[in-house]
């Protein structure tokens, strides 16, 4: 995604509008093509050389933010690696130690006892069994500017050629294996569409509330809501987007996603999660989004961002996965190793809570026919959790369990609710804690 300094939007008349570019504009296509070619030609080269080449391209063009923004998205598709024939720290330690023993060290000896700088490098290179060029290059190879571009998209550097003072040496990559690098071919069309998506994402960093409406691809959309741990309330709607009384009358769903401003801390972290969710929406044939964007913290002034399927945004996300988050994946893995009769299965049903619906994460099923439902809650506020539990009690879903994260340093003492069916966890959910709750609250 883009950093805040590379975002481009216009605020006027109570609205925020990302300054999208036209992907069919020949000028932007040429710029994108030049940038992609620049990255391709720098595979195997130091990061500093790549950055210099990007800066030179920027100087020659007036669209500074656009070029730097496109380059940022291409950098996100890169892997950089320290490339050296020996550990840089080991090379430095040996060089400094030998230089200290051989003081003074000079470029050209003037006295018989003077030690040349070249002699120090040569001695250390011999000790380490590497060439003089590899010793010279490897001394500071672990600095960020000296890291080598080893993958760009699907292009991978298998080795790096070093040329120091006319001495050439080829060094194989020493960090990640080639199998660890995965990527796809990057095209001009991909880059320009990804840039427009990133412009919209950057606006959402400061969202206080996000309302989405979707009329298809429900499972994919809401799996990404859960994947990014967003606080949400989901309501059934008709074909016109108006709320209806039950899921039986629903043509689609509306979701209200609370923004980072509603949290106690970690607002930037949560804002990035909200921005990360946006690429899920273009999976839908029909969708719209309305967001309240905070533009002035001192006055709490907000402006509105609106997007829909006619905006032309394209997604790079897959159509969904088996688990919505690492937390769920870890729990499922633990469950497979646990000694319990209870089976953990994915829950695909929509639970009708009256005017609102709930899409739980798991169901726990026992061979005797008992069943419990588990909802995992990551980010939350006391008001959000109280409202969710109130609706659950009102709907009389007595076998629904909540696993609630203590990540925000809030506990049951901070909220006024009956926490009998709430499992508090810090870093992970323990299988047998869930089993104990299931034994108590499961129903036939």
Q: What is the DSSP string of 51-63?
A: HHHHHHHHHT-S-
**Fold exhibited by the domain 205-308:** Alpha-Beta Plaits (3.30.70)
Residue 35 pLDDT greater than 80, yes or no: yes
Tally Cβ neighbours within 10 Å of residue 386: 14
> 104: cis peptide before it, omega within 30°?
yes
Residue 125 pLDDT greater than 90, yes or no: yes
Joined tokens for residue 51: 């950055």
* Residues 104-123, mean pLDDT to the nearest whole number: 69
Strand pairing report for 371-377 and 400-405: parallel
pLDDT at residue 24 in the model:
96
Global pTM exceeds 0.75: no
Residue 271 pLDDT greater than 70, yes or no: yes
Nearest one of 388, 385, 364 to 442, comparing CA atoms: 364
Residue 342 pLDDT greater than 90, yes or no: yes
Distance of CA 321 to the CA centre of its chain: 16
Residue 239 pLDDT greater than 70, yes or no: yes
Residue 227 pLDDT greater than 70, yes or no: yes
Nearest one of 198, 175, 200, 228 to 77, comparing CA atoms: 198
Nearest one of 431, 399, 15, 394 to 203, comparing CA atoms: 15
Tally Cβ neighbours within 10 Å of residue 264: 11
Q: For the chain, what are the domain ranges? A: 4-83+144-156, 88-139, 205-308, 326-441
pLDDT at residue 417 in the model:
43
Q: Please write the tens of the pLDDT for every residue from 415-430.
A: 544 567 788 888 788 9
Helix (H/G/I), strand (E/B), else coil: 286: coil
Q: Which CATH number fits domain 326-441: 1.25.40, 3.30.70, 3.40.50, 3.40.1350?
A: 3.40.1350
Pair 325, 423: CB distance under 8 Å: no
Residue 163 pLDDT greater than 80, yes or no: no
Helix (H/G/I), strand (E/B), else coil: 41: helix
What is the distance between the alpha carbons of residues 171 and 160, in angstroms, rounded to a whole number?
Answer: 5
Average pLDDT, the chain: 83
Pair 259, 292: CB distance under 8 Å: yes
pLDDT at residue 180 in the model:
42
């Amino acid at each position: 995604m883009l950093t805040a300094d590379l975002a481009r939007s216009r605020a006027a008349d109570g609205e925020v509008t990302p300054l999208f570019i036209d992907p069919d504009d020949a000028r932007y296509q040429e710029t994108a093509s030049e940038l992609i070619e620049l990255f391709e030609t720098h595979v195997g080269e130091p990061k500093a050389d790549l950055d210099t080449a990007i800066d030179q391209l920027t100087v020659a063009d007036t669209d500074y933010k656009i070029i730097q923004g496109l380059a940022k998205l291409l950098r996100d598709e890169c892997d950089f690696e320290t490339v050296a024939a020996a550990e840089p720290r080991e090379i430095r330690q040996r060089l400094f130690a030998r230089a200290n023993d051989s003081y003074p060290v000079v470029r050209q000896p003037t006295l018989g006892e003077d030690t040349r700088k070249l002699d120090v490098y040569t001695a250390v290179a011999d000790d380490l069994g590497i060439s003089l060029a590899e010793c010279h290059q490897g001394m500071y190879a672990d600095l960020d500017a000296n890291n080598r571009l080893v993958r760009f998209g699907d292009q991978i550097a298998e080795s790096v050629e070093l040329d120091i003072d006319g001495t050439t040496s080829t060094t194989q990559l020493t960090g990640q294996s080639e199998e660890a690098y995965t990527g796809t071919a990057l095209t001009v069309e991909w880059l320009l569409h990804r840039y427009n998506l990133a412009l919209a994402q950057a606006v959402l960093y400061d969202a206080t509330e996000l309302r989405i409406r979707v009329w298809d691809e429900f499972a994919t959309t809401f799996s990404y809501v859960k994947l990014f741990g967003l606080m949400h309330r989901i309501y059934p709607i008709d074909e016109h987007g108006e709320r209806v009384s039950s899921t039986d009358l629903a043509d689609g769903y509306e979701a209200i996603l609370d923004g980072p401003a509603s949290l106690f801390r970690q607002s930037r972290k949560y804002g990035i999660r909200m921005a990360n969710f946006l690429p899920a929406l273009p999976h839908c044939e029909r969708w719209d989004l309305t967001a309240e964007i905070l533009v002035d913290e001192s006055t709490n002034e907000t402006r509105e961002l609106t997007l829909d399927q006619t905006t032309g945004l394209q997604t790079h996300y897959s159509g969904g996965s088996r688990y919505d988050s690492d937390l769920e994946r870890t729990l499922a893995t633990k469950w497979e190793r646990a000694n319990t009769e209870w089976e953990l299965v994915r829950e695909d049903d929509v639970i009708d809570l009256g005017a609102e619906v709930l899409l739980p994460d798991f169901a726990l099923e026992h061979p005797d026919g008992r069943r419990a439902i588990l909802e995992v809650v990551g980010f939350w506020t006391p008001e959000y959790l109280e409202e969710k539990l109130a609706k659950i009690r009102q709907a009389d879903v007595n076998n629904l369990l909540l696993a609630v994260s203590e990540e925000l340093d809030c506990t049951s003492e901070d909220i006024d609710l009956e926490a009998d069916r709430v499992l508090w966890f810090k870093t992970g959910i323990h299988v047998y804690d869930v089993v104990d709750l299931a034994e108590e609250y499961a129903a036939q």
